[in-house]
Amino acid sequence: MTTLDDLHAKLDGNERLAADLKRVNGDPGAVAALFPAAGRKYGREPLTDGWSTDEAARALLLAAVPPEQVGDIYRYGDTAEKLAVLKALPLLPIGPSAVPLLEDALRTNDTRLVEAALGPYSDHLDQEAWRQAVLKCVFMGVALNKINRLSERADPELGAMLRAFADERHAAGRDMPPDALALLDQLKEA
């Protein structure tokens, strides 16, 4: 998995970012204006391994502030900022303290936020919340292959929930997404 060191190395030549990171180290409050402007200031082009420049820069800004500020940055973030925070969570030394941010993202109806909440950091979500999140993905049409450790974590209870959902869809003359049917099959075989 990509680490903060990898991102640092890739962004080594970005002088504006280097100066701003130094500034944030001395004055963590400065992040409130810098974090939203990341795309405009540092660029948006693809950087490395699924990370764009602004996402990577935002991860480094998050790593530069005290962990207790992460929640506030998420709270006041627009969608792109919230997505960047969710993406950076597994890289930050914060343990499970940011689970409430996942819960917030999972309460939205924005498919991008729901999907982003089910990345590697979702290992910290309890099984009950995680099952509801997977079911919500099926409901909203989020591709299940985006969910971290799906086949490992899928359990008979999730199977029962998916089965019931498939029955409802069938009764309404509607199809289940193929990836959800495949997951149901996998759970049947287990």
Q: Assess 139 for contact with another protein (CB under 8 A).
A: yes
| CA–CA distance, 27 with 136 (Å, rounded to integer) | 40
Where do we find the tokens 């500034």? 23
Mention every residue, 6+ apart, whose C-beta is less than 8 A from residue 167: none
CB 72 to another protein: min, Å: 10
CA-to-CA separations, 116 to 62, 108, 109, 148, in angstroms, rounded: 17, 12, 12, 10
Rule CB under 8 A: is residue 71 a binding residue for another protein? no
C-alpha span between 174 and 163 (Å, rounded) = 14
What distance in Å separates the CA atoms of residue 172 and residue 119, rounded to the nearest whole number? 32
CB of 141 to another protein, least distance (A): 6
For another protein, the closer CB: 79 or 127 = 79
Among 25, 76, 127, 170, binds another protein (CB under 8 A): 76
Rule CB under 8 A: is residue 140 a binding residue for another protein?
Answer: yes
148-187 residues in contact with another protein (CB under 8 A) are none
For the CB of residue 32, give the shortest distance to another protein in the complex, in Å.
Answer: 6
Binding residues for another protein (CB under 8 A): 32-33, 36-37, 39-40, 76, 78-80, 82, 108-112, 115, 139-143
